[in-house]
């Protein structure tokens, strides 16, 4: 399986920062996984949370700040929040990139679709890039507007009747990859996805015993 640096190498360098991704590449990962959000002035930045509190100790939301304001913020270890464009120089050093779109509700966060499609068109990385999200509506819109985009459907356990709800969305979106927590790798939906020729990428596996037992693609 492909080994991804989830948010870079966060146990050594602050997650989702340029230096963290550099460290993951030094550790010989096959690919990197990163989270993207949109700033107030429609810049795509790499950051997991909707709020700066956990990593910067600032109680402000990303969506209410411009990139100029965000650029001045220092995270743990003095790291800064990068733009998605900042990572392009690293892409030729890895086999795969998993860009996860963060969204705070099924009808929220759709503003990132247009600038993200423009990014994909500009850099021509379709042979190694997966676009993933827990928001199925965002994934559907991307697939409809840009059919050649490789999609990773993030399985959502927080839905009511989640196996069937996820199945309906998967059938509608037709993603190439199912991204699912390792605790659910024994579920019927994984077996079904394999029959449909989907790749199975699992998170977050930090235990060697779980890794050895998992029959996965990434």
- Is the separation of the CB atoms in 59 and 53 below 8 Å? yes
CB-side exposure of 183: number of CA atoms within 13 Å? Answer: 2
**Cα(26)–Cα(75) distance, rounded to whole angstroms?**
22
Euclidean distance between CA atoms 187 and 209, whole angstroms: 19
Contact 102, 70 (CB under 8 A): no
Known catalytic residue at 181: no
> Catalytic: which of 48, 110, 162, 181?
48
- Residues in contact with 149: Cβ distance below 8 Å, sequence separation at least 6, in sequence order: 117, 120, 126, 129, 131, 142, 143
The dihedral over CA atoms of 51, 48, 192, 159, expressed in degrees to the nearest 10, equals 0
Which residues in 110-149 belong to E strands, given as ranges?
129-133
94 vs 209: CA distance, rounded Å = 25
Query: Quick check: is 179 catalytic?
Result: no
Residues noted as catalytic: 6, 48
């Amino acid at each position: 399986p492909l080994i991804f640096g989830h948010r870079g190498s966060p146990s050594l360098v602050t997650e989702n920062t340029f230096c963290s991704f550099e460290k993951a590449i030094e550790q010989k990962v096959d690919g990197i996984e990163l989270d993207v959000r949109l700033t107030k002035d429609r810049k795509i930045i790499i950051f997991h949370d909707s709020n700066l509190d956990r990593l910067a100790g600032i109680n402000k939301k990303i969506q209410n700040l411009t990139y100029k304001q965000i650029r001045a913020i220092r995270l743990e270890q003095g790291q800064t929040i990068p733009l998605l464009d900042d990572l392009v120089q690293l892409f030729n050093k890895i086999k795969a990139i998993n860009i996860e779109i963060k969204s705070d509700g099924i009808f929220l966060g759709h503003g990132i679709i247009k600038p993200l499609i423009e990014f994909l068109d500009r850099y021509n990385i379709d042979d190694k890039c997966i676009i993933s999200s827990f928001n199925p509506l965002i994934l559907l819109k991307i697939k409809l507007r840009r059919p050649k985009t490789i999609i990773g459907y993030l399985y959502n356990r927080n839905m009511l009747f989640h196996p069937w709800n996820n199945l309906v969305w998967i059938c509608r979106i037709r993603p190439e990859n199912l991204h699912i927590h390792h605790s659910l790798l024994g579920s019927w939906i994984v077996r079904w996805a394999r029959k449909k020729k989907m790749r199975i990428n699992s998170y977050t596996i930090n235990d060697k015993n779980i890794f050895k037992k998992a029959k996965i693609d990434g």
